[in-house]
Structure 1
Amino acid sequence: MLRRVLRKIKERVRDLQLQKAKQHLLIHTVSGHQPLQHVKEGRIHQPLDHFNRHDVSTFPQRFFVNEAYWQHPDGPVFLFIGGEGPIFEFDVLAGHHVDMAEEHGALLLAVEHRFYGDSINPDGLKTENLADLSSQQALADLAVFQQYISQNFNLSHRNTWISFGGSYAGALSAWFRGKFPHLVYGAVASSAPVKAKLDFSAYNNIVGLSLLNKAVGGSEKCLAVVQEAFAALEVALMAGNASQVTVDFGCCQSPKDSDDQIELMQNLADIIMGTVQYNEEGVLLSINELCGLMTNKSAAYEGEMEAYNRLVKLAQIYRSTSEEPCLDISHEKTVKDLMDTSLKSSRRAARQWTYQTCTEFGFYQTCEDATCPFSGMLTLQADTHLCPMLFGIPQHSLPARIAFTNTYYGGDNPHTHRVLYVNGGIDPWQALSVVRERTEDEEEAETIFIEDTAHCADMMTRRVTDRCSLKKAREEIEKHVASWLRTAAQEKMDKSSV
């Protein structure tokens, strides 16, 4: 099932971060810095298939370079890896990796993932052409890009490369270091789901635990009311009250058939999933505000429909903040959107990402487990039926594809050296990352766990409102990066003195 609402929330988080980055830069510009002048955009023509020597087709891969802080010629190189969406010039102008680049005199690069943003051929989204969309090809792109930049900027072994990424791109950052250790010296992997999983029920389990978490404003009552609300909605649908539900939740269509009912459940679950995943990013309510809405005493919400009415209110708040006239719950429209292969908007990423879930990762956030706070209608079957429908990929082939991904990269026990895994305690994606200090055979894994923060929170530029745990975590990340650069410099001195 396409996470339509969750995707919109994610885009709004990205937009808000870009706005904040712009404000941050304006302040810098006023104080005499003009970092924008140093950013250049470029294209490299990458092979469409790195593993087929007969295929000479290419696609244009977009990247940004910022030389503002670079201590030429021997300063380090900080590579920001793009994930399942477009990159922006602000990816080399703002963020924690940029703060560190300024401190260490690094050359800043951001590179877009193949088949996302502008890095795609006009016919790239046709099913037969999506065969060239994979994480393996994306890593080969990074290796070629590394060589290209090294030639163009006359880089040598004296320039130490460090990669950065968050979420799927965080996994790419870790895997790039794992597969090409001679090209990248160290990697920061924030909220990185390095383990592929078909039935990712743990996601909603952690959403439930986060709604319980007192440190971020959760409570037992909050979780109970959310569960009660979804149960009440399910009862209303089963009783044939679709037209009342349509009015209550401001749906664009009446959820008469089961596909549309699942879509409605998914949209409403997405609002809560997005609240937890991006807690305190300022786009939606925070967990604290959501739980306030679900549990505060008020005469307006008395009676047996209390939980249901609070969920109705939550949907209204979502619609008004996202300026959506109605909640779109048409499954048919979802499928039609996913089948659209035109490149009308470079922001479109749903078709590509759905393809990657079908071929490599799974990551289906199901709700069939008793710990899930939402509706049991959100099943693995409902998620995976899109694979054969959109791409002709049979459902029974998914487990083997996902097993291959974990064999290829090592899952959540990857034996990588100089990869720093950073995760937040209320981020549902932590379940697929590396969070423990020691691996099975007592190897040290470099990890930072931030008790009370959400998805990729450490990647943002510092804010006055940041929690203490987040400030501490950033200092820890800075220590790791600084120590890698020191070790690299020491190794180079030792080599040259031989």
Structure 2
Amino acid sequence: MLFSEAQCLILLLVLNFTDAGRILMQMKQRARDVQLQKAKQQLLTVGLQHVKEGRIHQQLDHFNRQDDNTFSQRFFVNEAFWQSPDGPVCFFLDLINCTLLHISSGHHVDMAAEHGALLLAVEHRFYGISIHPDGLETENLAHLSSQQALADLAVFHQYISQSFSLSRRNIWISFGGSYSGALSAWFRGKFPHLVFGAVASSAPVEAKLDFSAYSNAVGLSLMNEAVGGSEKCVSAVREAFGAVEALMFRNVSQVAKDFSCCQIPKDQQDQVELMQSLADIVMGTVQYNEESVLMSISDLCGVMTNQSEAYEEEREAYHRLVQLSQIYRSSSEEPCLDVSHEKTVKDLMDTTVQSERRTARQWTYQTCTEFGFYQTCEDASCPFSGMVTLRSQTEICLELFGITQNSLPGHIAFTNTYYGGDDPHTLRVLYVNGGVDPWKELSVVGNRTDGGEEAERVFIKDSAHCADMMRGRATDRRSLKTARQEIERHVRSWLKTAQQEEKRTE
């Protein structure tokens, strides 16, 4: 077996968390909950006796040798499949609430079972319960960065190598999705002596302040007939948002009533919250198409164009968007649509560490200090409301952390300089992207070369965000099934190359 001849340590980084809107974040959490629910059956099959929880003390600041402060980072180990000592190792970094379920289901677990791998899961610093010991005050978030997180991985690499007596022959392959997909690629780029190859699924490796391309990509996906979209659908969405915006200036109380808002959005900040929330419903549907989060693009377009049997009555676009909002609230069991900007700020100002699922404050800090990713709608091709501007999106940085809008471009430029943006010139990184996923706009999808070699990539024409990382289903599109096979082929190729290089050095 190839894996027994050239041992492989597979680093799986699953932090598919890149969304900023309130509802979009909630839909992301729902996607995770669906995945975890599916994982429970697999966990029952594996059994709990092979799963253990542990802690490692990490430096708060890896780049200051005079600072000896630490925090406790949680991780899990699953030895159910491991063929010791030659079996590979799958390493899973989770952003929100790392649990043993995260190492019991997914494409990586299927490969681990097939190849006798040890499974590991570890939380990203300052998320889950791996929190700064003094809480989430702004001064304590100073050490929350992707650079520090990569250093955590390097230390964890050393810790696991010592704990399991791993050697130079254990070949590391990293996997990740969304933000963790970027970390996977960056780990390979910054620590090439530790990781031999990297798979980066739906990875936004390019930081972007004004990410207007996100909304534009959503519009194109709504037109994609292969997934149930149409020009009529995107036109209806555009018309609906225009109607909401127009009515809001004439009769905001009527808009609040129609969309069952928790409060009347009287000032502009609340109105922007409303428009962002409505856009989130559409954007989340596109981003997680066919992943059982809310509905599919086909379902959404059925509502917006009156093609669904359940919505045969001819209604204007405005009321069809109202219906879409009702579907969201019903599925999420929310009695009303919260559009209070003041409440949003208050929630993000909460610095307590009691909730393991709290992520919004930390992620907002990272968008302000590293990535941007602000999904604006000032471009004429955006199908939503032009009220969602870069200024309205970035005001939160000053409100929460005292970070001025003028400083943001410098933060974004540093990130791209440090990692290479969307042209990183790093060998043996496989970029996997779905054609429906808006985040592909910040990943590597073209033919990029370094040293004459073509960048490795898999493009799944009709697939959504990180869909390739889930366990295969009978209902998966053929393109998605083929993509998983292609990922496995790349990993085997890297392992074969590593084996050959190892033999030459013996």
TM-score by length of 1: 0.95
Q: Is 1:229 aligned with 2:240? A: yes
Which stretch of the first structure deviates more once superposed, 306-315 or 98-107?
98-107
Aligned residue among 23, 27, 32 for 1:9: 27
> Residues 370 and 440 of structure 1: is their aligned pair in 2 closer, same or farther, counting only changes over 3 Å?
farther
Structure-1 residue corresponding to 2:403: 393
Q: What pairs with 1:99-248 in structure 2 (closer than 5 Å)?
A: 99-239=110-250, 241-248=251-258
Aligned residue among 16, 19, 24 for 2:42: 24
Q: Is 1:53 aligned with 2:65? A: yes
Distance 1:401 1:2 in 2: 18
Q: Is 1:465 aligned with 2:483? A: no
- Which letter does structure 1 place at the counterpart of 2:213? A
- Which letter does structure 2 place at the counterpart of 1:300? E
Structure-1 residue corresponding to 2:461: 451
User: Residues 387-416 of structure 1: CA distance to partner in whole angstroms, max 9, x if unpaired?
Assistant: 111101111011011000000000011111
| 1:231 CA drift (Å) | 0.2
Contact map agreement 1:82 1:165 (CA 8 A) in 2: no
Contact map agreement 2:423 2:448 (CA 8 A) in 1: no
Contact map agreement 2:306 2:313 (CA 8 A) in 1: no
Structure-1 residue corresponding to 2:499: 489
Q: Is 1:265 aligned with 2:275? A: yes
Distance 1:383 1:463 in 2: 38
Which stretch of the first structure deviates more once superposed, 200-209 or 484-493?
484-493
| 1:67 CA drift (Å) | 1.6
Distance 2:48 2:504 in 1: 38
Contact map agreement 2:427 2:450 (CA 8 A) in 1: no
Distance 1:361 1:2 in 2: 11
Q: Is 1:62 aligned with 2:80? A: no
| 1:35 CA drift (Å) | 4.1
- Which letter does structure 1 place at the counterpart of 2:29? E
| 1:55 CA drift (Å) | 0.7
Q: Report the secondary structure of 2:430's partner residue.
A: strand
> Residues 441 and 255 of structure 1: is their aligned pair in 2 closer, same or farther, counting only changes over 3 Å?
farther
Structure 1 residues not aligned, in runs of 5+: none
| 1:112 CA drift (Å) | 0.8
Distance 2:500 2:76 in 1: 30
- Which letter does structure 1 place at the counterpart of 2:458? I
Aligned residue among 466, 484, 499 for 1:474: 484
| 1:270 CA drift (Å) | 0.3
Q: Is 1:418 aligned with 2:436? A: no
| 1:161 CA drift (Å) | 1.3
Q: Report the secondary structure of 1:329's partner residue.
A: coil
Distance 2:104 2:241 in 1: 42
Distance 2:20 2:209 in 1: 15
Which stretch of the first structure deviates more once superposed, 87-96 or 487-496?
487-496
Distance 1:92 1:66 in 2: 7
Which stretch of the first structure deviates more once superposed, 114-123 or 353-362?
114-123
- Which letter does structure 1 place at the counterpart of 2:128? G
Distance 2:37 2:481 in 1: 22
| 1:211 CA drift (Å) | 0.2
Contact map agreement 2:306 2:314 (CA 8 A) in 1: no
- Which letter does structure 2 place at the counterpart of 1:245? V
State the superposition RMSD in angstroms.
1.4
User: Residues 402-438 of structure 1: CA distance to partner in whole angstroms, max 9, x if unpaired?
Assistant: 0000000000111111111100001000000011133
Which stretch of the first structure deviates more once superposed, 291-300 or 327-336?
291-300
User: Residues 156-193 of structure 1: CA distance to partner in whole angstroms, max 9, x if unpaired?
Assistant: 01211111110001000000010001111111110000
Distance 1:143 1:438 in 2: 27
Structure 2 residues not aligned, in runs of 5+: 1-18
| 1:99 CA drift (Å) | 1.0
| 1:382 CA drift (Å) | 0.5
| 1:72 CA drift (Å) | 1.3
- Which letter does structure 2 place at the counterpart of 1:465? T
Distance 2:482 2:395 in 1: 44
- Which letter does structure 2 place at the counterpart of 1:222? C
Contact map agreement 1:301 1:309 (CA 8 A) in 2: no
Q: Report the secondary structure of 1:466's partner residue.
A: coil
Distance 2:193 2:291 in 1: 36
Aligned residue among 364, 369, 373 for 1:359: 369
Q: Is 1:79 aligned with 2:91? A: yes
Contact map agreement 1:122 1:342 (CA 8 A) in 2: no
| 1:378 CA drift (Å) | 0.4
- Which letter does structure 2 place at the counterpart of 1:270? D
Contact map agreement 2:20 2:374 (CA 8 A) in 1: no
Contact map agreement 1:204 1:428 (CA 8 A) in 2: yes
Contact map agreement 1:74 1:158 (CA 8 A) in 2: no
Q: Is 1:37 aligned with 2:49? A: yes
| 1:441 CA drift (Å) | 7.3
Percent of aligned positions with the same letter in both sequences? 72
- Which letter does structure 2 place at the counterpart of 1:6? L
| 1:77 CA drift (Å) | 2.1
Q: Is 1:319 aligned with 2:332? A: no
- Which letter does structure 2 place at the counterpart of 1:93? S
| 1:455 CA drift (Å) | 0.2
Which stretch of the first structure deviates more once superposed, 455-464 or 92-101?
92-101
Distance 1:390 1:277 in 2: 27
Distance 1:443 1:386 in 2: 42
Q: Report the secondary structure of 1:42's partner residue.
A: strand
Distance 1:440 1:242 in 2: 55
Distance 1:451 1:88 in 2: 32
> Residues 363 and 171 of structure 1: is their aligned pair in 2 closer, same or farther, counting only changes over 3 Å?
same
Q: Report the secondary structure of 1:259's partner residue.
A: helix
Q: Report the secondary structure of 2:82's partner residue.
A: coil
| 1:442 CA drift (Å) | 4.9
